[in-house]
Amino acid sequence: MLNTEAIDLPVLTGEIVSPGQPHWDAARRAWNLAVDQRPAYVALPADVDDIVALVTFARRQGLKLAPQGTGHNAAPLPALDNTILVSTQQMRGVEIDAAAQTARVQPGTLWLEVTEASTPHGLFPLSGSSPDVGVVGYTLGGGLSWLARKHGLAADSVTAIELVTPAGERVRATADDHAELFWALRGGSGNFGIVTAMEFRLYPYADVFAGFMLFPYERHAEIVRAWRDWTRTAPEEVTTSIRIMHLPPLPVLPPFLQGRSIVVIDGAYAGDAEAGAAALADLRALEPEMDTFAPSSPAALSRIHMDPEEPMPFLGGGTLLDATDDETLAAFAAGVQPGGALLFGELRQLGGAVGREPEHAGALGAIPGEFLVYGGGAVMGPEMAPAVAGALKGFIDGLASWKHDRMYLNFSEEPTDPVALFGEERAARLRAIRATVDPDRVMVANHAV
């Protein structure tokens, strides 16, 4: 255990919080409240100079550095006892360049802050299903959005990344400068330094056609099968997911949803309402109990999945599926039954631009497989963890026959072999880049390479 009292801390414009300070517990808290982070210090830098000072300090003290935006993917992190947790939550801000159709964000920026800023310009970022996921963490891990099958991974729409390297150097990585590092950062997560700014492309649409369709749980077998059949001929403009959900009887939910089991299809068509309605016609013909698909702004698109916007304790996990058949769908539904410990099981539609590696691709390349499957449950106290973990294991194991040997980094909630995340060749290239940039392995990322 580090004797933190004997150490001269760096003077920051922001703050460095030590164990025992009154706000220690608030500072070390991750968005995923089920993760108990116990680092040596928590740093809350206010600017890039603070980050350089932190890197210098960490090197002098033989400490490691774990950058964190929100802690949505804190679960796979190793023990942090000799590590400074560098929380970028105070470094927020978005600049939209409407003429260039690009955005520049500070490292602690959340997706909703970008979508709200880009909405008046009719410019869509490749944001995901949760409004309060961090832009940088999401994008460094790939970034699967509601426009993904049309525009590919968010990482592949990045035009520049600024960072402080583990050597304390400020670097701006683009396709032309520090190109190897630029490749590695776009999918290889926080293994290569602390990102201090990111710039990426935005896509012009007057609006997109997005929303959800809700069905009673009793129809799950019919609806899941019909959705799967529909995905096989759906155009690349459309990206959707289907969930079986068992909602708790909580007053934060509208009364008609409290304590109910439902099936929800949601997503977006990258285009206008007429073309979107035509693409979704077969799903609408299933006569959902509720259908909210409508022209949507970037900010509205951020919220169609109704992901929780406040920290919560959860255990989640998933895998990629290939060549699914009716048996797969039955196994999926069997793993997430009413009365079980999982709140939901979800299939996300892959393929299209997500399944093809673009010429300018970053480290992730493409996400293989037909669907991404993910499930999760709330862990309101440590005593609930074994039941949720057991249910999750049963859910994933039940789908083992269709499991792809690769996994998608952002949805990986436990330490995962880099070969499973990237494939042999890319994992080796990432290791080589890390050995050059971070030979002393100072960086602690959610998924180490």
Binding site for ligand FAD (CB under 6 A): 67-74, 88, 107, 128-130, 133-134, 136-138, 140-144, 189-190, 194-195, 307, 410-411, 445-446
**Closest-approach residue to ligand FAD (CB):** 137
Determine contact, residues 406/420, Cβ cutoff 8 Å.
yes
| CB of residue 301 to ligand FAD, shortest distance in Å | 11
Return the number of the residue (50 or 226) whose C-beta is nearest ligand FAD: 50
User: Under DSSP, is residue 348 helix (H, G, I), strand (E, B) or coil?
Assistant: strand
Give the residue from 442, 427, 231 showing the smallest Cα distance to 347.
231
Determine contact, residues 380/313, Cβ cutoff 8 Å.
yes
**DSSP per-residue string spanning 78-113:** ---TTEEEEE-TT---EEEETTTTEEEE-TT-BHHH
| CB of residue 128 to ligand FAD, shortest distance in Å | 3
Dist. CA 59–CA 57, nearest whole Å: 5
Residue with tokens 């949505």: 72
Determine contact, residues 44/67, Cβ cutoff 8 Å.
no
Dist. CA 399–CA 372, nearest whole Å: 11
Give how far Cα 35 sits from Cα of 1, 107, 364, 385, Å. 20, 22, 26, 11
Length of the chain: 449
| CB of residue 98 to ligand FAD, shortest distance in Å | 25
Return the number of the residue (128 or 340) whose C-beta is nearest ligand FAD: 128
| CB of residue 239 to ligand FAD, shortest distance in Å | 10
Residue 236, both tokens: 């690349």
Cβ neighbours of 431 (radius 10 Å): 16
Return the number of the residue (146 or 230) whose C-beta is nearest ligand FAD: 146
Determine contact, residues 301/146, Cβ cutoff 8 Å.
yes
| CB of residue 421 to ligand FAD, shortest distance in Å | 12
Return the number of the residue (263 or 445) whose C-beta is nearest ligand FAD: 445
Return the number of the residue (134 or 340) whose C-beta is nearest ligand FAD: 134
| CB of residue 261 to ligand FAD, shortest distance in Å | 20
Q: What is the DSSP letter of 346?
A: E
Return the number of the residue (30 or 283) whose C-beta is nearest ligand FAD: 30
| CB of residue 66 to ligand FAD, shortest distance in Å | 6
Return the number of the residue (210 or 226) whose C-beta is nearest ligand FAD: 210
Return the number of the residue (143 or 375) whose C-beta is nearest ligand FAD: 143
| CB of residue 125 to ligand FAD, shortest distance in Å | 12
